[in-house]
Amino acid sequence: MNTKYLRIMIIVLTIALVQLACALPGFNGGENTNGTDAEILTTQNAGQTDNVVVIQSTPTTQPAHNAQCNYSFSSTADISIGQIFSTEENFDVNWILTNTGDCAWQADDALVMIDGDLPATFERIPLGQAVLPGETIALIGSFIAPAQDGKYQAIWKLEADNGVLVGIEPHGEMPLRVAVKVISGNSNAPVPTSTPTMQSPAPMSDFTLLDDECFDLATGQVVDCNDSSADIKYQYSTLLGAKLFNVNKIGFADNQNAEPGKSDCESMSYLSLHHSLIEGKFFCFKDESLVSPRYGWIYIVRFDENGVSFDYDLFSTTPAVVAGINNPFVLEEEDQVTIMLDECFDVHHGTEIDCSEPYALLTYEQVTKKSLQVKQVRGLGQAPLVFSVALADEPTKSECESLLASTSAVVIWPIDETKYYCYQYVPGMVGYTGWFRPTSYNNNGITFDYLTWNSSP
């Protein structure tokens, strides 16, 4: 073989080997082609430093948004509900967000503050990196405690897909909520040190109740525990754990895994003392403070020694149907009396009476309580007739006089059927005492029996 042919063969072989090497996977002329950035990446966004940390590797290319995407996420935070901070104290909240939807988040998506009175250093925190479904990202929010003592919160959602606001799974509706308590001169405010753990998802917007606070289920508001609208109270102890206590005729059923329906709650048994809380569980409640019992459920998101985060729902009521109320002022067995709504009765002479007359001593009426229309019995007169608390057994005259000397009210609400209520009125120089017992009532009227004793001048 001459030298000329040998050279040609060497050149051809060299070209073939170069082409073969270029075709091998993973070769790009010195660039990394594994499709991911470094496993941990810190970025700077909009003047913020170190506020975004990608926990898992993500694609370097931006996936396009899909109009049919179902966006949702789960989250954890290293701050307790109702955690205490000093006035004007700076603090951070570390969130871990997991993409539980079916589409990727893009780098220009951001966690945004949508409501609240807790000042944040930045109200928009860009992700700075795409996050695929199932992947996780950590974000840091910086806050400044207000100068005044009180309770404050900041409400956040993920802004995705050109302004679509996304919340926590499963429906993408529940926002992230930072709820703190600010106390001036609080030098011993706890510092977050624990590693975040995944919180259970809640079905809708959640509510926060701090330790020893009370809640009105009808309005969805925190209220004074001495207010008649207070329904439940949260208390936590190291020995007994987290509990919701009945404040106003609320009964609790057992914990369960799935969201109950109205018929489920109506068929359950209830205890009225307190209920032990378990995160991620539903339980039914029964409100017996109204004419007709009202049912609903509570879902516990999370709790600690400072407070509880929960969601709840109220079902519509079914009006009570009471037999025997067809005609006004009907004497029934055992001399029971029936009066209709807004009618008045004279217990002194035992007769129905015009409400403008001096001896119109009680009426059955509809009023608004807890944002609901309810029925009550109210005492009338120049010196209004007053009632005692409910009694299980028929009282004597002396028992009523003793009871009314210490406590009384001009209304009976809520009304306990078959319970006795002592009453007292003074139409002139002589006072009278008696008892009143409602036996049935509904939206139309009330049936009751009563007894009046003379009293000494």
Task: Please write the tens of the pLDDT for every residue from 377-393.
Answer: 999 887 789 999 999 88
Q: Write the pLDDT tens digit of every residue in 10-32.
A: 776 766 665 655 555 444 444 44
Q: Is the pLDDT of residue 336 over 60?
A: yes
- Asked if 106 and 127 count as a contact pair (C-beta separation under 8 A), the reply is yes
Please report the pLDDT score of residue 387 as a whole number.
93
The confidence score (pLDDT) of residue 421 equals 94
Confidence of residue 201 (pLDDT cuts 50, 70, 90): very low
Q: Each residue of 227-276: pLDDT tens digit?
A: 877 889 999 988 888 999 988 778 899 999 988 988 899 899 988 778 99
Q: What is the pTM of this model?
A: 0.36
For the segment 54-103, what is each residue's pLDDT rounded down to a tens digit?
Answer: 333 333 334 444 557 777 787 777 776 667 888 889 999 888 888 888 88
Which has the higher per-residue pLDDT, 28 or 213?
A: 213
Q: What percent of the chain has pLDDT over 90?
A: 14
Please provide the average confidence, as pLDDT, over all residues in the chain: 75
How do beta strands 110-116 and 83-86 pair? unpaired
pLDDT, one tens digit per residue, over 410-421 is: 899 888 887 899
First-to-last C-alpha distance (Å) of the chain:
145
Q: Which is higher by pLDDT, 42 or 125?
A: 125
* DSSP β-bridge partners for residue 177: 155
Name the least confident of 30-34, 147-151, 311-315.
30-34
Contact 77, 111 (CB under 8 A): no
> Which H, E and C letters describe 91-159, residue by residue?
EEEEEEEEECCCCCECCCCEEEEEEECCCECCCEEECCCCECCCCEEEEEEEEECCCCCEEEEEEEEEE
CATH class label, 37-60+70-196:
mainly beta
Ramachandran area for residue 16 (φ above 0: left; ψ -120 to 50: alpha; else beta) = alpha
